[in-house]
Amino acid sequence: MLMEEHRALYGLLSFRLAAVERSLPVAGGTLAAILSGSASLPPETQRVILLAMPAALLWLMRTTCAHARSKEDVVRRLGELEGTVNYIAGEELLAFQSRHPNRGQHVSGRSGGTTVFGVLSFCLTAVTACAWMAIPLWPDWVLQVVYGAYVVSVATDVVATVWGLGRYVYRKAPAGTSPLFVGLRFPE
């Protein structure tokens, strides 16, 4: 059973890595193309894009951090399984995750940390570009202030999301909280 869980978790880890390495660059590239191409559109369309873009960038950052947290959970559980298998066997048979040199230094490892930093940089640059592009579209200073507050709140949330990821710690769920068995608890 332990080795089957180990195999399944490595499959999940592969999925998380593929999602980060394939999906996020496509999403980021699409958003960058939309933002850069919006300058050639009519002002009304530009306004719509500039209203939607900060929210889309926030979604991209939160999705990236969610994948990083999930990857961290999988990697930590793999380390636990390796320790359990080694304990049962009485010798070190599995050691990749439990002895990995990066263990515990970065949430989701070096690749996850690099991806999060890259997406953070892209999001902050794109949000700044949104603010810059919006200035001539809303000549009324009240609308500029409202849009500026929107952009600043999104940028703050993007940074806070990454900050929260840096403080994330994997915590194993207590025994008996598996969704399969929650409804089968008997009164004590």
Neighbours of 128 (CB within 10 A): 12
One-letter amino acid for residue 62 of the chain: R
Query: Which residue is associated with the tokens 């979604």?
Result: 59
Position 122 scores a pLDDT of 93
Position 178 scores a pLDDT of 57
Position 184 scores a pLDDT of 52
Position 168 scores a pLDDT of 84
Position 84 scores a pLDDT of 84
Position 164 scores a pLDDT of 92
| DSSP symbols for 47-82 | HHHHHHHHHHHHHHHHHHHHHHHHHHHHHHHHHHHH
Position 57 scores a pLDDT of 95
| DSSP symbols for 12-44 | HHHHHHHIIIIIHHHHHHHHHHHHHHGGGS-HH
Position 73 scores a pLDDT of 85
- Torsion sign over Cα 161, 74, 114, 22: negative
Instruction: Mark the ranges of the chain whose per-residue pLDDT is less than 70.
Output: 97-106, 173-188
